[in-house]
Amino acid sequence: MTTKAGRFEVRHDGVTISASRGGRGRPLVLCPGLLTTQADLHELTELLRRDFDVVTFDLRGHGLSSPADRYTFEAFLGDLDAVLAEVAPRAPLLVGHSLGADLAVHHAAGHPDAVAGLVLVDGANPIPEPFLTEADLPEFRAMAESLRHEFARAEGTAHQVLLTPQDFLDLNLEIEAVRSSILDRYREIDRPVHLIMSTSMAGNGGDARTQWRNRNWRAGVERLVRERPHVATSWLEADHRLVVTHAPEVARLIHDVQRPWTLDRC
């Protein structure tokens, strides 16, 4: 590990993970989601650092981290595991957004004593029906292809994403499969879990498919709470980019929900 001005690097699996640390208080590790970088989460990170000792990082192929020869769920989980092994001597509050929430659940399930609690932001949702059916694949392929221009504009900056549109599509299909069994992972976690969810995960479009996706998203949360009644939930009037568009509200909820948790879990 090398450190400079709050930034450091973690090397594993042939990849260099760019990370940063700052703030004071209880330890917190913030795991970004797919296509999201530390730079994108700057406002949320700075707000959290008022109350926490925050570590955050770029997943492989994102931001200032190096590219990789594979972008799979297990590979990204390895990135999170490596960062936590390097910098978390005390069990942190583990916060994840989108894919980062799924990674957080799987890490906590595999390391039951390694975290103080989980805050899961718009991810790790055991939705009752898959978002990506055969009928949806043309739409998602077009969406993935449209990302090529966004990736090109951010190239060479701290916001860059080095994945290809096909990587993005393949990962979305894999995440669907992972979420189909994520209730089993929740059953292995005995730490406090709080969800911060968007009311319009799929956006605010009035078409029938968008509205169905938003209902399906809410139904997944309801399914989880029925199965695990101790899981707490907060909803924000936002879409899936809530960590960027509603950073102050997300930071406030993270601060508020952790207060009842006993400090001896740290």
pLDDT of residue 263: 42
* Stretch 152-179: mean pLDDT: 95
**Mean pLDDT of the chain, nearest integer:** 92
Bridge partner residues of 95 (DSSP): 30, 119
- Choose among 118, 23, 127, 51: nearest CA to 80: 118
Considering the domain boundaries, does residue 265 fall inside one?
Answer: no
pLDDT of residue 89: 61
* Stretch 160-164: mean pLDDT: 96
Considering the domain boundaries, does residue 243 fall inside one?
Answer: yes
Q: Model confidence over 99-111: pLDDT tens digits?
A: 999 999 999 999 9
Q: Are 98 and 30 in contact (CB under 8 A)?
A: no
Considering the domain boundaries, does residue 266 fall inside one?
Answer: no
Considering the domain boundaries, does residue 223 fall inside one?
Answer: yes
Q: Model confidence over 201-215: pLDDT tens digits?
A: 999 998 999 999 999
Considering the domain boundaries, does residue 227 fall inside one?
Answer: yes
Residue 37 has pLDDT above 60, yes or no: yes
Considering the domain boundaries, does residue 19 fall inside one?
Answer: yes
Nearest 10 degrees: Cα torsion 191, 249, 64, 86: -20
Domain, as residue range, for 62: 2-260
Produce one character per residue of 229-242: b if its CB has 16 or more CB atoms within 10 Å, e if not.
eebeebebebbbbb
Query: Could you tell me the pTM of the whole model?
Result: 0.94
Band the pLDDT of 18: cuts 50, 70, 90: very high
Considering the domain boundaries, does residue 224 fall inside one?
Answer: yes
| Total of domains in the chain | 1
Band the pLDDT of 259: cuts 50, 70, 90: low
Q: What span, in angstroms and rounded, lies between the C-alpha atoms of 258 and 125?
A: 21
Q: Could you tell me the CATH number of the domain that includes residue 19? A: 3.40.50.1820
